[in-house]
Amino acid sequence: MKKGFRVALREVVRPSSFFRIHVRACRRFQSPFTPAKHALFAYSTVSKSRHSASVASRLLGATLVVACGITTLVLYPPVVYADAPIQSEGSLGRKIRLHEVKKHGQSAETKWITKGTRVYDITEWIPGHPGGEVILRGVGGAVDQYWNIFTIHKKQEVYDILESYYIGDIDLRDLVNGQVPAENVDDPFKSDPKRHGDLTVHSERPFNAETSTEELNKFLTSLDAFYVRNHLWVPRLDEFKHSLIVEMPNGEEKVYMLKDLKEKFEALKITATLQCSGNRRRHMTSEARSTNGLQWNVGGISTATWTGVRLRDVLADAGFPVDDWPDDVKHAQFMGAEAYGASIPIDKATDKRGDVILAYEMNGKPLPPDHGYPIRVLVPGNVAARSVKWINRIVLSDEESNSQWQRRDYKCFGPNVGGNPDWDSAPAIQEMPVQSAITSLRDISPNSQQDNKLLQVYGLEEDSIVVEGYAYSGGGRRIVRVDVSSDGGRSWQQAELLPNEAKGAKSWAWERWRWVLPRQSAGRCFVVKAVDEAYNSQPDNYEPTYNVRGNLTSAWHRVGYRPE
Amino acid sequence: MKKGFRVALREVVRPSSFFRIHVRACRRFQSPFTPAKHALFAYSTVSKSRHSASVASRLLGATLVVACGITTLVLYPPVVYADAPIQSEGSLGRKIRLHEVKKHGQSAETKWITKGTRVYDITEWIPGHPGGEVILRGVGGAVDQYWNIFTIHKKQEVYDILESYYIGDIDLRDLVNGQVPAENVDDPFKSDPKRHGDLTVHSERPFNAETSTEELNKFLTSLDAFYVRNHLWVPRLDEFKHSLIVEMPNGEEKVYMLKDLKEKFEALKITATLQCSGNRRRHMTSEARSTNGLQWNVGGISTATWTGVRLRDVLADAGFPVDDWPDDVKHAQFMGAEAYGASIPIDKATDKRGDVILAYEMNGKPLPPDHGYPIRVLVPGNVAARSVKWINRIVLSDEESNSQWQRRDYKCFGPNVGGNPDWDSAPAIQEMPVQSAITSLRDISPNSQQDNKLLQVYGLEEDSIVVEGYAYSGGGRRIVRVDVSSDGGRSWQQAELLPNEAKGAKSWAWERWRWVLPRQSAGRCFVVKAVDEAYNSQPDNYEPTYNVRGNLTSAWHRVGYRPE
């Protein structure tokens, strides 16, 4: 598509202008669209035009935007809207067998879905779907299981849109106890890999699991033991077929295969810690009040040395002026092949010392499927949710990613704000605050030969305690001090920061620390708190930073001790 | 001096090689130098060769390094050392009148000083003085007053060095009660300007004063009311004569007059808050334990819009590769005309979005004498101590500034570390942690016309309270939330962030905030705590971050309230 036409199209399909055109068209034909539906349709149609997942579908999508959004409405208003029951669950349509639904799958000309016991022909909605092509996973069957994953659908405007495509009800002969039997519902997680590692599993579908205590005591985490935070299923991709599209602000696109990236750009290694915003959420729940979300202990965090190419170099190659970009480009959006999406500020994406890379190796081995094979973005210093796995599209935009993970889930509010906040009132979490935890507390004795070696290093000859853990801060801020206490925080000493060989322009990796003290001088409650190079410190309890989502739990970590 | 020779000279005068040469020379002539003195002499001599304050003196200094350091020792060891009493205060020298001392001032060939009642000929020491030319201020008279300002002198090695230049004692006829009369002691602060502003003075000499409560309630602080933190006297400079020397890592120098800077480089405006590391120290003292240093309340902080040229541009013009510098260049050192010195990491100095400027205007007017006239460096996001005033030399180096303000004073240690810490165990403070304070708390009533206007904005019709203050974080991290409480922190609400027109690539300026609440719903203890964009928060009390120096006090600010 020629650039001039693209830009013109972009102008036409701005949400605001499209909204006006759409409202006018619907008024003309007495469409039953509500204002909210107009807005959503306009918004999502344009959204689709910006986010569609391939060159081909983009071309198709952009055409469909105009075709479906205007011409279709003009030519066939009764078909699309007049039959649709609005905000009612009456049975006005015909009875449809499940085998008939199945025929309207991905390869069919018209695409149907079921939700509950109702059937919808969503063919015309597909190009307008804000989530992109992921909607195709559901066609020819039930979408309930996806609706539960993509919770952003659970609002009236979306139900309204869906109802406008209603065509009938599932035939009673196909229902068991009034429901579609489980064997007829597609499993979104059928492509997930088998896991072998020493992980503590919090949820199987999507798979979420934290690193074991033993692995937390190493500077680099083994691949099998690296914590997994999946929001959706694991896409099975082939590095020789998988492509990455970079979309410029003017809509121009450049396509890279992994092979291209490796050949064209300098490879570099960055040692970085990834941490879930929910790490240590369990502590906030137990020491303050209940929180929503997976109840991570201290293992929602791991560290690896990642190999990849600079995002900055790739953007420059794609034609973006990485040292002097236009003011209206503010974000780099990342889309994953499974439908996850997030974004980071453009200055982080282009900062030479920001070390954002497109990573294809972890600790010298290809990324495992759970960690983004064949390629993911690594945004060191930021919450792990921005290091999008299975990345297949990068969009430079004036807007943040529209995903629920950018606009909702990874946000943090005041202690007084409940579960239904004004989402826009807080920025998406990017850098994280200073954090630390105790990961090991063990008695050692001079009677053991191995223990004795360690005791000698610290000039001790008596029964002692070894306390170890990690300390980390966001934004590449180095940990400058780790304060430890064995009496609940009444008195402090400084732990030893253990040497490591982290690579990168800033301190993107945690520090491992150790404290060895004679057993007889130890109190009954060990505590750790860390200080980063901006001298930020951790809160001493969980109330002041309490938030319903339990994000960014970073109060002092306390661990009780009872001698053997 | 040719570059090749300079580099060769630099090799010769590395502290380590010079130390060896010096030890050998002294052994040869049985000099009474102790190993500590060898080290200090070698170190400070080299230091001088790197830091001397002008091209001419550098040339002279470098020559003297070799001449004095080796030849002089070889030719005249008995003159310099043999007569000097070491670590004794006996009266072995001759009696000297004060008018005779006075003759050996700045313009004399040989330069004398007095300390206590003893007289020293320090002519040969001058090129080796680590503090550079500031030593000339004292010659021809007493140095006791300087010794008290530059506390780094108060250690045995320095007394030893001084004693090696002893030549006699002040004649008893010139002493009153065994001391030099005050009128014979030069006033280091004689050039300080008169102050008119609404400032709360903490010390007159050097002048240190904080911004008044009223001025803290404005987004931009008036020049007269901007807090003043002087470490020494105020040098009286002339913008048409004052020069700035930029010294490259290879020793090459480039000289800029203010006029050159204005003509050659693009001017830009940066709105930035400067904060003393001791701001709110008084609170730590009163709520935890005693701390050393000026007892600042909430006014060791102010904000201005600064005009200047990018340090990055000037360094590039001087020949420094600002986008790809050699690994061994790690710091940009700044020297002030009065002898103050500090440094910042090279990546901050060269970061285009770091906004470090050489500033010559404040709120659109030339810098006042107390704030660095004619030119200062402004390092937004960092502790104000790095924004060196009256700057006359920039050195790009592998080392931090050697000043006491870099290596000692502006550091922060754990709560358990006393007043004599291992100074090298903590990094110099650069970025500061998130901070906030209440600066105004007042009753308003609908009976007052002016108050009523404000009440209407907040939809209130009853007697109310207006609470206002500031919130700030280091590193350009934006304040994203200000939590306020009127019941001592049991319950919270969010304050309104007031609009402002700050200029700069990041959030270098404080946010002013406001909270209006009905009087009858108010408790008796107002509290504020802020959250920055990395979601760092403030500690709720002063014990966990207590340090003897009282630096970086940032616990929740609590203010009691009693209704009128």
B434, pLDDT greater than 90? yes
**Confidence bin at B562 (pLDDT 50/70/90):** confident
Does B479 lie at the interface with A, CB-CB under 8 angstroms?
Answer: no
Least confident of A132-141, A432-441, B113-122, B249-258: A132-141
Q: Do B535 and A323 touch (CB under 8 A)?
A: no
DSSP B151-174: GGG-SHHHHHHHHTTEEEEE-GGG
**Confidence bin at B335 (pLDDT 50/70/90):** very high
Q: Which residue of A has its CA nearest to B485?
A: A416
Asked if residues B497 and B469 have their Cβ atoms less than 8 Å apart, the reply is no
B311, pLDDT greater than 50? yes
B77, pLDDT greater than 50? no
Which burial class, exposed, middle or buried, applies to A397 when counting CB atoms under 10 A from its CB (0-12, 13-18, 19+)? buried
Instruction: Select which of A410, A470, A472, A546 is catalytic.
Output: A410
pLDDT tens-digit series, residues B162-205? 999 999 999 999 999 999 998 888 888 999 999 987 899 999 98
Interface A-B, measured as beta-carbon pairs within 8 A, has a size of 107
* Chain B environment of A535 (Cβ under 8 Å): 412, 429, 431-433, 552
Q: Pick from B323, B506, B507, B537 the residue to mutate for testing the A interface (most A CBs within 10 Å).
A: B537
Average pLDDT over residues A198-221: 95
pLDDT confidence of residue A399: 97
Does B492 lie at the interface with A, CB-CB under 8 angstroms?
Answer: yes
Q: Do A534 and B536 touch (CB under 8 A)?
A: yes
pLDDT confidence of residue B13: 36
**Confidence bin at A6 (pLDDT 50/70/90):** very low
Q: Which residue of A has its CA nearest to B494?
A: A414
- ipTM of this model? 0.82
B83, pLDDT greater than 50? no
pLDDT confidence of residue A91: 52
Rg of chain A over all Cα atoms, to the nearest angstrom: 26
- In this complex, which of A475, A529, A533 lies closest to B544 when CB atoms are compared? A529
Instruction: Select which of A50, A51, A104, A153 is catalytic.
Output: A153
Does A316 lie at the interface with B, CB-CB under 8 angstroms?
Answer: no
Total count of residues recorded for chain A? 564
Quote the Cα angle for A276-A360-A303, to 5°. Answer: 35
- In this complex, which of A492, A535, A545 lies closest to B412 when CB atoms are compared? A535
Average pLDDT over residues B240-249: 97
Does A220 lie at the interface with B, CB-CB under 8 angstroms?
Answer: no
Which residues are bridge partners to B336 per DSSP? B391
Average pLDDT over residues B275-290: 97
Instruction: Select which of B153, B281, B310, B512 is catalytic.
Output: B153
Does A103 lie at the interface with B, CB-CB under 8 angstroms?
Answer: no
Average pLDDT over residues A186-194: 91
What whole-number distance in Å separates Cα of residue A112 and Cα of residue B211? 69
Active site residue B229: yes
* Chain B environment of A504 (Cβ under 8 Å): none
**Confidence bin at B58 (pLDDT 50/70/90):** very low
B87, pLDDT greater than 90? no
Q: Do A535 and B493 touch (CB under 8 A)?
A: no
Mean predicted lDDT score pLDDT of chain A: 86
Q: Do B352 and A323 touch (CB under 8 A)?
A: yes
pLDDT confidence of residue B130: 78
Active site residue A153: yes
What whole-number distance in Å separates Cα of residue A394 and Cα of residue A377? 10
* Chain A environment of B535 (Cβ under 8 Å): 412, 429, 431-433, 552
- In this complex, which of B323, B415, B430 lies closest to A492 when CB atoms are compared? B415
How far does the CA of residue A382 sit from the closest CA of chain B (Å)?
A: 9
Quote the Cα angle for B451-B453-B457, to 5°. Answer: 115
Residue B193 tokens, joined: 């300007």
* Chain A environment of B489 (Cβ under 8 Å): 544
Does B563 lie at the interface with A, CB-CB under 8 angstroms?
Answer: no
pLDDT tens-digit series, residues B2-29? 444 343 333 333 334 334 434 333 333 3
pLDDT confidence of residue A445: 96
Q: Which residue of A has its CA nearest to B416?
A: A492
pLDDT confidence of residue B91: 52
The SS3 call for residue A128 is helix
Residue A266 tokens, joined: 């300098």
Active site residue B546: no
pTM, 2 dp: 0.82
Percent with pLDDT over 70 in chain B = 84
pLDDT confidence of residue A56: 41
Q: Do A414 and B481 touch (CB under 8 A)?
A: yes
pLDDT confidence of residue A48: 41
Percent with pLDDT over 90 in chain A = 75
Q: Which residues of B396-428 are buried (b: 16+ CB within 10 A; e: fewer)?
A: bbeebbbbbbbbebbbbbbbebeeebeeeebeb
Average pLDDT over residues A258-283: 98
Q: Which residue has the higher pLDDT, B60 or B213?
A: B213
Does A200 lie at the interface with B, CB-CB under 8 angstroms?
Answer: no
pLDDT tens-digit series, residues A339-393? 999 999 999 999 999 999 999 999 999 999 999 999 999 999 999 999 999 999 9
A407, pLDDT greater than 80? yes
Average pLDDT over residues A544-551: 96
Q: Quick count: other Cβ atoms within 10 Å of Cβ B251?
A: 18
* Chain B environment of A353 (Cβ under 8 Å): 347, 351
Q: Which residue of A has its CA nearest to B545?
A: A537
pLDDT confidence of residue A92: 65
B519, pLDDT greater than 60? yes
B532, pLDDT greater than 80? yes
Q: Do B431 and A491 touch (CB under 8 A)?
A: no
* Chain A environment of B351 (Cβ under 8 Å): 353
List strands edge to edge, sheet with A331-336.
Answer: A253-257, A243-247, A391-397, A331-336, A341-345
**Confidence bin at A150 (pLDDT 50/70/90):** confident
pLDDT tens-digit series, residues A497-543? 999 999 999 999 999 999 999 999 999 999 999 999 999 999 999 99
DSSP A86-125: -S-----SEEE-HHHHHHSSTTSSS-EEEETTEEEE-TTT
Q: Which residue of B has its CA nearest to A535?
A: B433
A210, pLDDT greater than 90? yes
* Chain A environment of B323 (Cβ under 8 Å): 352
Rounded to 5 degrees, φ, ψ at B235 are: -75, 140
- In this complex, which of B416, B433, B477 lies closest to A493 when CB atoms are compared? B416
The SS3 call for residue A168 is strand
What whole-number distance in Å separates Cα of residue A135 and Cα of residue B210? 62
Q: Which residue has the higher pLDDT, A157 or A299?
A: A299
Q: Which residue of A has its CA nearest to B489?
A: A544
How far does the CA of residue A428 sit from the closest CA of chain B (Å)?
A: 9
A395: nearest Cα among A440, A457, A449, A344? A344
Does B347 lie at the interface with A, CB-CB under 8 angstroms?
Answer: yes
Q: Which residue of B has its CA nearest to A350?
A: B353
Most trustworthy range by pLDDT among A74-78, A354-358, A416-420: A354-358
Does A480 lie at the interface with B, CB-CB under 8 angstroms?
Answer: yes
What whole-number distance in Å separates Cα of residue A96 and Cα of residue A84? 16
How far does the CA of residue A485 sit from the closest CA of chain B (Å)?
A: 11
